[in-house]
Amino acid sequence: MPAARPHPIRYAVVGLGHIAQVAVLPGFTHARRNSRLAAFVSGDRKKLSVLSRKYPGVATFGYEQYEECLSQVDAVYIALPNSMHAEYTIRAATAGVHVLCEKPMAVTADDCDRMIGACEEADVKLMIAYRLHFDDVTLSVLDLIRKRRIGEPKFFNSSFSLTVRRGDIRTQKALGGGTLYDIGIYCINAARQIFDAEPKEVMAISVNSGAPGFEEIDESTGGLLRFDGERVGAFVCSFNADDVGSYRVLGTKGQLHVEPGYEYAEGLKYSMTVNGQVTHSRKTAKHDQFGAEIEYFSDCIHTGRAPEPSGYEGKQDVRIIEALYESAETGKAVGVPPFEKPLKAVPAQRITKPGVKKPTLVRTEETSVD
């Protein structure tokens, strides 16, 4: 007689802002093999009412009912403002509930430590939602680099910018706003994966042009990351420039250009140039990166496997962000302590799901200006 199939992991999505509505909630359609959307948690009663009609059978809870919600689910997907990640992760862990948390993991490395400690003490899984770790184009680029198709990678250069709406939570310091936390983290994580190494030292410059809406945070920040072997990662991120999200890896024999490189609303594309000739290129259609990470995390819960990207991966990027902001403030290079738990790429994490249709948003706005 065949073994019984494990029950689907029941998730509560905590926070129903833009990313939750446009990507996380639709992602459960493609993760239904092992995952079920079971509950919403929000402070907006109107939003809960409308979304509960859109997703029949999903229970609704206010933030004051969080513990009640936790008693009815197996896992949470935390899509709250950055400053709330630590509190809601720790409360979930205390209740014995597994945690899939949006990046950045938290605002400070100390908060990351508290999150890791709480989850380890409660013996629950903690994963940070680095969706690109499951993306086929991203992993194909890493494969080409590992195979030395462009020779020895020497430097990484990236631009990531968008025009953020005035008043958006990402412009509010108290909520963990700032360009590095929101989009710079993609550049940092990409450089670390590409070099398969950790930066020893970082430098940064943050600027503000006086444009309204950026009084509490950096409008733009440029960062430099020094890696072993005299390799360099460089990037600029901005909340007040035209939309772009690309990176280039230069090696001793050639280069890889990835654009778009960080998107979830469209397919990604790369081209490889060797000896001045484009030798290979690839573009994918829009696909669902969120359903992929949810499905993977549920498999980790069912099998007992430690998920990657782990809390240690999330913490490392936050440490680097803190060091970059310190450098921007002091005008000096800042060292980065060694990473406690290096990440190794796992081929089994290559998961591809078809794209999802963009839903109608409920009481939330697009985060950027078209």
315 catalytically annotated: no
Query: Would you call the peptide bond into 260 cis, given omega within 30 degrees of 0 as the criterion?
Result: yes
The two tokens of residue 138 are 């991203």
Structure tokens at 197: 């190494």
Sign of CA dihedral 161, 164, 169, 172: positive
Q: Of all helices (H) and strands (E), which one includes residue 178?
A: none
Question: From edge to edge, which strands make up the β-sheet containing 9-14?
Answer: 59-61, 35-41, 9-14, 75-78, 98-101, 126-128
Quote the CA–CA distance of 143 and 138 in Å, as a whole number.
Answer: 9
Tell me the backbone φ, ψ of residue 51, rounded to 5 degrees.
-70, -30
Q: How many helices (H) and strands (E) does the chain have?
A: 11, 15
103 noted as active-site residue: yes
CB 247 within 8 A of CB 190: yes
Q: Which one of the listed residues 103, 125, 315, 353 is annotated catalytic?
A: 103
CA distance 96 to 316: 25
Distances (CA, A) of 115 to 3, 88, 118, 314: 35, 9, 5, 11
Residues forming beta bridges with residue 251, ordered by sequence position: 153
Of these residues, 11, 186, 296, 312, which one is catalytic? 186
The reply to whether omega before 6 is within 30° of 0 (cis) is: no
Q: Cα–Cα distance between 40 and 25 in angstroms, integer?
A: 10
DSSP letter (8 states) at residue 55: S
Joined tokens for residue 158: 């990236």
Active-site residues, by number, are 103, 186
